[in-house]
Structure 1
Amino acid sequence: MTTVYLLFILILAVFVGFELIRKVPATLHTPLMSGANAISGITVIGAVSLAGGVQHEWATWLGAIALVLATINVVGGYLVTDRMLAMFKKR
């Protein structure tokens, strides 16, 4: 029964996230990306603590996967933000 609740929360989070991001105007994408990078940085810290902890083997693997995905998100987000901000610099 707990799995059903967790699956429901995951589907609801995906739907709400998609609807929120879809309605963001183009001028707000850079600040939104910066905020997402901060949140992903917190995710990296949580993933490191999960991957390095002494739990079940599946928790360690899940933490390692979360660490890789969150790191890709942070690095990619900063690269995109830097590129977007470079468009506003004077040449």
Structure 2
Amino acid sequence: MSVALLTDLTVFVLAVLVGFEVISKVPATLHTPLMSGANSIHGIILIGVMIIAGEARTVPEYALVAVAAAFATANVVGGYLVTDRMLEMFRR
């Protein structure tokens, strides 16, 4: 295993742990506004996926790009749907 891969895996695992810890401390009343805003930020991840897709050369790399694109797209769409649903509550 290369040093770069080990470093990337370490950063990924730490990001997951920190993200889980931060989100688990948010009160339930703030979850919807916080998550709808955070999910829309996944548009930035889609840009990263497109950049990585240009560098992909092997089948596993293409598979990871496809999975990342699918999850990021689901989060972007979900974030906007949740935001729209929240705004509907304030319309007459």
TM-score (norm 1): 0.74
* 2:47 matched residue in structure 1: 45
Query: Highest relative contact order (Cα 8 Å, sep 6+), 1 or 2?
Result: 2
Confirm or deny: 8 A CA contact 1:37 1:74 kept in the other structure.
yes
Give the whole-Å Cα distance in 2 for the aligned partners of 1:65 and 1:85: 30
User: In the TM superposition, what whole-angstrom CA distance separates every residue of 1:11-70 from its partner, at most 9, and x where no partner exists?
Assistant: 2111110111122232363144224312x001111212322x253213222212211111
Consecutive unaligned residues in structure 1, runs of 5 or more: none
Q: Say if 2:40 is the partner of 1:33.
A: no
Q: Structure 1 residues 6 and 23 mapped into 2: Cα distance closer, same or farther (>3 Å)?
A: same
User: In the TM superposition, what whole-angstrom CA distance separates every residue of 1:57-91 from its partner, at most 9, and x where no partner exists?
Assistant: 1322221221111101111111112112212223x
Give the whole-Å Cα distance in 2 for the aligned partners of 1:73 and 1:36: 5
User: Please, which moves more after superposition, 70-79 or 5-14?
Assistant: 5-14
Equivalent AA in structure 2 for residue 36 of structure 1: N
User: Please, which moves more after superposition, 63-72 or 18-27?
Assistant: 18-27
TM-score (norm 2): 0.73
